Chain A
Amino acid sequence: MTATLPPRAAADPQGAGPARVNSYTSGKLPRWAAPALTVACLMGAIAVVALLAAAGAIGEFSLVLAVILGTVSAIALITTISLIAEGRRAATNRFMIALVITAFVVALLPLVSVLSTVLVNGAPRFDLQFFTWSMRSVIGEGGGALHAIVGTLQITAWATLISVPIGLFAAIYLVEYGRGPLARAITFFVDVMTGIPSIVAGLFAYALFALIFGEGVRLGFAGSVALSVLMIPVVVRSSEEMLKLVPNELREAAYALGVPKWLTVVKVVLPTAAAGIITGITLAIARVIGETAPLLIVAGFTSSMNYNAFSERMQSLPVFVYTQYANPGTDVDVYLERAWAGALTLIIIVMALNLIARLITRLFQPKAGR
């Protein structure tokens, strides 16, 4: 609203002549009021806390305390001033906006903190050797996580290959065909599966493969099976929601052209929902790629390279991070640095996955073109 006013009137509504004032803006706080007040409150709070600390009233200076104090006082001050100057409705609005922004920042804090910590700690070993070496006969310095990266990529790829067809077909069945008790049963068990602890999935895969290969089996592929137990319900749920979003009118339009149901599903429903389904699958991958417990049980850990998911133990990044952290040698720092670098790699892989998903989404999205 204020954007259409001349700058002077916007900054000083009362100062301008009555002919120039837009009556809709009268009694409004200028735009910069809230941000300025917030900054002022934060500075004030820091000063107060610093003074108190200097006076010895609260022990050491605490930035956290200052920020909390500043935020609370900023919210209170903005709301009060708005209540006096602008009235109830505007004050409520400002209060709610302040709460929303605070919640947003609070939600963002852990994320930023995790990212920066991992970046700072992971950077020292994020070097060429880390991506070209395995840990075979490395004791102490050097070594790399190539075997773990290869393992994670293979195990996750196999898990995706298992989960996507099963999950997608289950979702298609539920949305397009399923009626009655069978559909209800599937929905129920998918819900139950969503809550399975990952360690149980690992034990399940171990029990399954132990039946075939005997006790003590360790296989990369068994890890994939464990991960797919965790992944399938996520794929089913997200694909189901996306398929439900496809308007029935499109299905009817296809039927009315004499298109059989299965072709309608393949050529109309799936392409229309493709963007959302792919996003869902990527999120499902991101959900399982960091799983540690099941892989620890059923894929085992090793310091050597293994390109074959169907024989022998296979290292994966989360397990790599875990073993580096849990079993350090004499030079603890070297092991910890490798663990951090592994964590950083994992985060980067997940971020790359998300980026790819966004690209694919953009490519597949029905073009509005307006």
Chain B
Amino acid sequence: MSKRIEVRDLNVYYGKFKAVEDVNLTIEPRSVTAFIGPSGCGKSTFLRTINRMHEVIPGAYVEGEVLVDGNNLYGKGVDPVLVRRQVGMVFQRPNPFPTMSIADNVLAGVKLNNRRIAKSDAEALVEKSLRGANLWNEVKDRLDRPGSSLSGGQQQRLCIARAIAVEPEVILMDEPCSALDPISTLAIEDLIEELKTDYTIVIVTHNMQQASRVSDKTAFFNIAGTGMPGKLIEYDETATIFSNPAVKATEDYVSGKFG
């Protein structure tokens, strides 16, 4: 189910603006990788190149290679739709579909693709995904209510349920817990721990404790100044990054001495 991700010489652009420069890293299957770094250093931008969401923005493009199990995502003739079916994503801001009920939001990956699903299978999938996202108990009595009737944190967990319902091989999470309370955050972290046995997970976070709790490896990104591209500074085992980093900037950042 899970896949190895290799990134080679990746430059990411918004039109003329180079947002991320020269990233090289390898993400092992069945692992959790955390991206940390100051705001605006290009974590989200880089994350979005791993499922070809970056090019959705007008004028945005990518140079270099991203290999998933050896297949270059940016090779000629690659269908981004197929890529995104294997590499799911949870966004920084919760974005449930306002026209759909809670249950339909979970089933969105199936229904929007016009795939048929038996009613009992659909119900089972909804329950499994919502339990997986630790939301089931809160919404089981109102599955037919609109998704936008939930609180911000509940909406985010609904989006996680929606992402795992399509059973991708890789899950990208862009600050999934930034809108959540500590209890839901712990639930998501436990969830990540469980998902790790099947999926490859990449998570962007501003929370150092979270990075050290959930991730096996950590990548530290930094930016030299405004208008400059973000760069991958250090990539290593999480324990090493937090206790004994090789680069001074990493040490300053994880110990809070930054800036």
Q: Contact residues of A with B, CB < 8 Å? A: 179, 247-260, 263-264, 267-268, 271-272, 366-370
Contact = CB atoms under 8 A, between A and B. Distances in A.
Contacts of A179: 58
B93 A249 contact: yes
Contacts of B146: 366-369
Contacts of B148: 366-370
Contact of A256 (B89, B96, B111, B113): B89
B95 A257 contact: no
Contacts of A368: 98, 146, 148-149
A252 B172 CA distance: 13
B166 A366 contact: no
Contacts, number: 92
A251 B56 CA distance: 9
A250 B95 contact: yes
B81 to A, nearest CB: 5
Tell me what chain A mostly uses at the interface: helix, strand, loop, or mixed: helix
A256 B149 contact: no
Interface of B: 51, 53, 56, 58, 80-82, 84-86, 88-89, 91, 93, 95-99, 108-109, 111-114, 145-146, 148-149, 159, 162-163, 166
A253 B91 contact: yes
A253 B98 contact: no
B88, B93, B96, B108 pick with most chain A CB within 10 angstroms: B108
Contacts of B91: 249, 252-253, 256
11 contacts: A249-B91, A249-B93, A249-B95, A250-B97, A253-B108, A253-B162, A257-B113, A259-B113, A264-B112, A268-B99, A271-B99
Given A255-B53, A367-B146, A369-B146, A267 B89 contact: no
Nearest to A253: B95
Chain B binding site: helix, strand, loop or mixed by DSSP? mixed
Nearest to B98: A366
A248 B56 CA distance: 10
Contacts of A250: 95, 97-98
Interface centre among A179, A252, A253, A271 (most CB of B within 10 A): A253
Contacts of A272: 97-99
Nearest to A248: B56
B149 A370 contact: yes
Contacts of A268: 97, 99, 112
B84 A258 contact: yes
B113 A258 contact: yes
A173 to B, nearest CB: 15
A281 B162 CA distance: 34
B102 to A, nearest CB: 10
Given A263-B113, A368-B98, 12 more contacts: A250-B97, A257-B88, A257-B109, A257-B112, A257-B163, A258-B109, A259-B112, A259-B113, A267-B112, A366-B146, A369-B146, A370-B148
B114 A263 contact: yes
List the 9 closest pairs (A to B, CB-CB), nearest first: A258-B85, A369-B149, A366-B98, A256-B89, A249-B95, A257-B109, A367-B146, A271-B99, A259-B112
A368 B113 CA distance: 25
B56 A254 contact: no
A249 B97 CA distance: 10
A260 B98 CA distance: 19
A247 B94 CA distance: 12
